Amino acid sequence: MSLATESTAEAKTFCVNHPQTETYLRCNKCGKPVCMKCVQRTPVGYRCKECLGEQRAGYYTATSLDHVLATLIGVILGAVGGFVMLLIGGFWLLAIFAGPIAGGIISEIIRRVIGKRRGRYIALVACVAIALGGLGVLLVPIVLSRGRLFGSLLNIGFWIYLALALSTTYARRRA
């Protein structure tokens, strides 16, 4: 056996998270020996989960004020969109087109107001706010009509609009 093969045979390394697992794989950022269970393949090579967590944390720069602004905008614009859909009534075919358009517009307004900053929970905050705004508008006719619940709740166009607006907003703010 040559000297080069003897040195590689003796240099056994074990995963830092699984001490019984032998590995020749190392994180390309920190250099720790890791097994295939502990890494994720990235475009630049294999990275350990700790390095990926640090890298992803740098993407999120939103402040608590950004969450408040996303909430306010979501409630207001969700209420406006819900009101328009209640006025349109049972035209559910129109709601199929209006929902994604409204969700895209609301998402873009939120993005511009918070200065294009990203947050881990901005998408969820925006969706909950839009839902609360839309459902708040849905409750107004119920209260004004003294409890005649089914007229407003059975407006299928409103529910289609709300579902599509929420899914579009979530997809646009999450990305």
Q: pLDDT digits over 56-80, tens only? A: 655 777 888 999 999 999 999 999 9
Cα 20 from Cα 23, distance rounded (Å): 10
Neighbouring CB atoms inside 10 A of 31's CB total 10
Query: What is the structure's pLDDT at 1?
Result: 46
Query: What is the structure's pLDDT at 151?
Result: 59
Query: What is the structure's pLDDT at 144?
Result: 67
- Model pLDDT for residues 119-162, shown as the tens digit of each residue: 888 999 999 999 999 988 877 766 666 655 555 677 788 889 99
Q: 40 - beta bridge partners?
A: 47
Cα 165 from Cα 104, distance rounded (Å): 8
Query: What is the structure's pLDDT at 142?
Result: 66
> Is-contact 52 40, C-beta < 8 A?
yes
Query: How many angstroms separate the Cα of 63 from the Cα of each of 26, 116, 156?
Result: 35, 12, 37
Cα 41 from Cα 25, distance rounded (Å): 12
